[in-house]
Amino acid sequence: MSDETKVTQEYGGSQIQVLEGLEAVRKRPGMYIGSTSSSGLHHLVYEIVDNSIDEALAGYCKHITVTINPGNSITVTDDGRGIPVDIQPQTGKPALEVVFTVLHAGGKFGGGGYKVSGGLHGVGASVVNALSEWLRVRVHKNGLIHEMKFARGAITQEMKVIGKTEKTGTEVTFQPDPEMFDTLVYDYDILHERMREEAFLNAGLSITITDDRDDEKQITETMCYEGGIREFATWCNRNKTPIHNDVVYMSGNKGDASAEIAIQYNDGYNEFMLSFANDVRTPEGGMHETGFKTALTRVLNNYGVKNGIIKGEDKVSGEDCREGITAIISVKLTEAQFEGQTKAKLGNAYIRTLVDQIVNDQLATYFEEHPQTAKIILEKAMMANRAREAARKARENARRKTGLESGGMPEKLKDCNEKDPSLCELYIVEGDSAAGSAIGGRDSRFQAILAMWGKMLNVEKARQDKVYGNDKLNPLILALGGGIGEDFDIEKLRYHKIVIMSDADVDGAHIRTLLLTFFFRYMRPLIENGFVYSAVPPLYKLSRGKQVKVAYSDEQRDMISAEMRGDNPNIKIDIQRYKGLGEMNKDELWETTMDPERRTLRRITLDDARRADEIFTILMGEQVEPRKDWIETNAKYAINIDI
């Protein structure tokens, strides 16, 4: 960290300001961490890590460790200054106690403790404490080790000195509360991905993540990237083919705000953009993305006109300019304004101007100095422009073919009676057989069925004109009603619950991945707004006489089987493996998979879709080596293979 980023004021108890109390967190945890599902569970880790990252941003922290302990407790350590342990004037209590027990207490409100901060809202530590069965914090500071213990937000051990130390920093260990969360099992891959992002975004910061849950096989990795987001862009394109070798890097600052951007184009047709504000990912974008997009489009058009590549009125649109781009945008600013505690969208208007100016000046200079690269990128954008025009014609042809002018809907769609989109569900079903059972078993008041058939288009290597003209995807596009790509309008969407209902086998997983990739690439707001779900059909039917039950996993099958046998282990239980949805009659499908009172649906998050998209790029793209490596690594996990 540079000396320029360091804060001149002392970081002590006087910088900790108290706004209000804590009990509401346990009553409405979703307001603070987004949900009580797996995403909320992982968000607890992010909140504590964000505090350590704030120390790194301030120039005081060089190394952070994240450890998943046996029993799924989490330990986060850093070598920063350590949370203050002196008395906080407003409360008369130790600052350490205030930080962990009072909502809206932190060093980010007064401007003295931190210059920039990801954990702006000042709720991180106290919220994690409130939602933990127990929490222990140790602070190495002023030559002493201070310790406090809590349970569900309440103090179980007052702050005390437990030893001497020569280092500085904070160690937080917490156990998520089973009363608060639907699951308590941490996913190493999810945490690893987040920590890798943090390491990329803070050049030179070392982050170690360790999984200690398996006695026989500890997993650990230390990540440190001196190249920062340049390396991030290269890493994102690792399974793709770049069309220019250099990563274009731009940076600048104004006052306390700074921004850095890294871009590299590949030969694909899809845009991949990751944006961050104070190291917190902003999946819904915001002002920094707006500034980047505007400037990129302007620079490419100006260069094209100036050099005679673009003639007349043949301007390229923003969408054209971003075809095949991988872009990393990272901004650091004081008083960041996020929409919601989960910080999905950045709202500071002035950051748009800063990013716009940086890209406008530095990218134009780069193009002048690297005319060959500029020409390659511009030609790709112009080709995209021609394809977009072809897509428009294909769209019009599709409308004519399906009779949309007269309000027609796809032949394979069995619509529901309800007209309010917020109450309507669309089940996307694989094959006519399963569709027949679904149509017969559904509640036609609010449940619509769309049958998909045949091999779906690989959208990985297809432009919009090919997507619009595709006879497998076109019915889906028409049924949803919101359009596609940049023209997608969520207000026109006809269903607010879109359920992918495919078989629990390899083919079903393939179809789900294809659909998720399509939604991710061409209708991303569906996923961002939480409208996409995956149905969870049963895997087994268990019978004993007239008694019939279903199981959704091998473990549940064994448990139900034991229950049905009771005290007699010799009783025969008929166990039928459902090979597909088409094997179920309409009543079975309704009772197990479609009845809102009994069904299980998995909401698809942006992270789920992004991971599916990455895997699909590996498996369906043109790079052989990544596909070979992935298959060799994951072959041992393969199940349900038809031999």
Which of 507, 583, 591, 607 is flagged as catalytic? Answer: 507
224 burial class (0-12, 13-18, 19+ CB within 10 angstroms)? Answer: middle
Q: Which tens digit of pLDDT belongs to each residue from 606-617?
A: 765 566 667 767
DSSP class of residue 335?
A: S
- In this structure, the number of other CB atoms found within 10 A of the CB of residue 157 comes to 12
Structure tokens belonging to residue 167 = 């280092």
What's the CA gap between 576 and 553, in Å, rounded? Answer: 13
* Res 69: pLDDT: 97
The residues near 285 (Cβ < 8 Å, ≥ 6 apart) are 273, 275, 345, 346
Structure tokens belonging to residue 293 = 């997009």
DSSP string, 172-219: EEEEE-TTT-S-----HHHHHHHHHHHHHHSTT-EEEEEE-S-SS--E
DSSP string, 255-272: TTEEEEEEEEEBSSS--E
Residue numbers in the chain where pLDDT is lower than 70 = 1-22, 104-123, 340-343, 394-408, 454, 460-461, 607-613, 616, 619-624, 627, 630-643
What's the Cα-to-Cα distance from 116 to each of 58, 110, 318, 350, 451, rounded to whole Å?
A: 7, 12, 31, 15, 51
Assign 275 to helix, strand or coil: strand
The verdict on whether 50 is a catalytic residue reads no
Angle, CA of 545, 552 and 425, to the nearest 5°: 110
The verdict on whether 505 is a catalytic residue reads yes
What's the CA gap between 619 and 132, in Å, rounded? Answer: 40
What's the Cα-to-Cα distance from 314 to each of 305, 375, 591, rounded to whole Å?
A: 9, 16, 57
Assign 418 to helix, strand or coil: coil
Element (H, E) at 449: strand 447-452
In the block, residue with structure tokens 């707004």:
529
Contact 256, 333 (CB under 8 A): yes
- In this structure, the number of other CB atoms found within 10 A of the CB of residue 540 comes to 19
The verdict on whether 503 is a catalytic residue reads yes
Structure tokens belonging to residue 275 = 């944006």
Contact 116, 256 (CB under 8 A): yes
Q: What residue ranges in 16-104 does DSSP mark as E strands?
A: 17-18, 63-68, 74-78, 87-88, 93-94
Which of 430, 465, 528, 614 is flagged as catalytic? Answer: 430
| 545 Ramachandran zone, left/alpha/beta (phi>0; psi -120 to 50) | left
What's the CA gap between 527 and 519, in Å, rounded? Answer: 7
What's the CA gap between 55 and 202, in Å, rounded? Answer: 11
Which of 171, 212, 361, 505 is flagged as catalytic? Answer: 505
Structure tokens belonging to residue 118 = 């990801």
Over 470-502, what HEC string results? CCCCHHHHHHHCCCCHHHCCHHHCCCCEEEEEC
DSSP class of residue 593?
A: I
Count helices and strands (H / E) in the chain: 20, 26
Residue type, 107: G
Which of 356, 503, 588, 608 is flagged as catalytic? Answer: 503
Structure tokens belonging to residue 553 = 């996993």
| Strand pairing class (272-277; 325-332) | parallel
Q: What is the pTM of this model?
A: 0.70
